[in-house]
Amino acid sequence: MNKVKFELKDVSLERPDCNSTGKRPTAIILNRINTVFLQGQITAVMGPSGAGKSSLLRLLNRLEDPGTGSITLDGANLKDLNIFTLRRRVGMVWQLPTLFPGTVAANISYGPRLRGIPPVAAATMARKLIQTVGLTAELLDRPAASLSIGQQQRVSLARTLANEPEVLLLDEPTSALDPTAAANILHLMADLRSRLGLTIIFVTHLPEQARQVADRVLLLSHGEIIESGPALQFFTAPRDPRSRLFLNGQLEG
Ligand SMILES: Nc1ncnc2c1ncn2[C@@H]1O[C@H](COP(=O)(O)OP(=O)(O)OP(=O)(O)O)[C@@H](O)[C@H]1O
Ligand SMILES: [Mg+2]
């Protein structure tokens, strides 16, 4: 049985409603979310556009805090953890690569250098990590901007892995990639889960991706959980009629 990594209890998030006429000044983005994310498992977060998928991910490394409810990591309330330690333990990869000007090596060894790891050891880490993400060490001395978007996305992942996270949050990490580069990222996720025991939570709007790599699925609509559970059950015998609509591409946002 996998251990609970994150536990969300009655988590709600509201934001100012930009279309508000004054009668309803806030919009409910997430509404009383109760769920867990299990250690060493890949969970796919799915749902129509605007369902609250990215918002949910942002709560897990405190890019935002919920208005009500509590979130724990290994049993400790996120608010009681040092924010820098939390963000190291819970790494994030975005939809588009987020590299800064400089070489690939400089990008990957940025985190380790910041933690005081000596240059030679940080360079060794970069050399190992570039291979972990399926690229060759020859790329290390190239300017990051000269790589293809698919390669840059893998370097972004290597840079996040350089912080030795326990959890990886990925928000539609393949949406800017061609099918081959997207497949590479999916394989890599499965590999990181199996080899390093990472807990991976990724947002995708493609059920096919979840079917390929996810152990568990969480389907959101209008800020509420429609269904969550083992991926196999979700894809073979979804319990909620809206899950069936979603799988048929008919669930509206
Ligand atoms: N900074 C913000 N201020 C106000 N409302 C926001 C903000 N960011 C997102 N929202 C609203 O919150 C809701 C959920 O947004 P979120 O980005 O979490 O959805 P999503 O499921 O990730 O959608 P997508 O699939 O399009 O990325 C949407 O209605 C969106 O308009
Ligand atoms: Mg989103």
Verify whether ligand 1 is closer than 6 Å to residue 51 (CB atom). yes
pTM over 0.85: yes
Angstrom distance (rounded) from CA 141 to CA 148: 15
Model pLDDT, residue 22: 63
**CATH number, domain at 16?**
3.40.50.300
Any domain includes 252: no
Any domain includes 237: yes
Share of the chain above pLDDT 90, in %: 82
Residue nearest to atom 24 of ligand 1 (CA): 49
Verify whether ligand 1 is closer than 6 Å to residue 19 (CB atom). no
Mean pLDDT of 196-222: 96
Angstrom distance (rounded) from CA 8 to CA 218: 13
Any domain includes 129: no
Model pLDDT, residue 18: 72
Any domain includes 239: yes
Any domain includes 193: yes
Verify whether ligand 1 is closer than 6 Å to residue 55 (CB atom). yes
Any domain includes 190: yes
Any domain includes 177: yes
Contact 171, 203 (CB under 8 A): yes
Reported as a pLDDT band with limits 50, 70 and 90, residue 24 is: low
Token pair of 188, please?
Answer: 């890599």
Quote the number of domains for the chain.
1
The count of C-alpha atoms lying within 13 angstroms of the C-alpha of 218, restricted to the half-sphere facing its C-beta, is 26
Token pair of 13, please?
Answer: 């998030």
**Residue 220: nearest ligand to its CA?**
1
Mean pLDDT of 133-148: 95
Atom number in ligand 1 closest to CA 16: 4
Contact 230, 241 (CB under 8 A): no
How many angstroms separate the alpha carbon of residue 113 from the centre of ligand 1?
34
**Residue 20: nearest ligand to its CA?**
1
Q: DSSP states of 8-65 as a string?
A: EEEEEEEEE-TT--SSS-EEEEEEEEEEEEETT-EEEEE-STTSSHHHHHHHHTTSS-
Atom number in ligand 1 closest to CA 18: 4
Model pLDDT, residue 250: 87
Q: Which of 18, 54, 204 to mutate for ligand 1's pocket (most ligand atoms within 8 Å of CB)?
A: 54
Residue nearest to atom 30 of ligand 1 (CA): 50
Verify whether ligand 1 is closer than 6 Å to residue 15 (CB atom). yes
The count of C-alpha atoms lying within 13 angstroms of the C-alpha of 149, restricted to the half-sphere facing its C-beta, is 13
Domain that holds residue 20: 4-83+92-98+166-247
With a cut of 60, say whether residue 175 has pLDDT above it: yes
- Cα angle for residues 99, 97, 6 (degrees, 5° grid): 105
Any domain includes 182: yes
Q: Residue 119 to residues 52, 87, 126, 165, 196: CA-CA distances in angstroms? A: 41, 22, 10, 20, 24
For residue range 185-206, what is the model confidence (pLDDT) as tens digits? 999 999 999 999 999 999 998 9
Verify whether ligand 1 is closer than 6 Å to residue 85 (CB atom). no
With a cut of 70, say whether residue 224 has pLDDT above it: yes
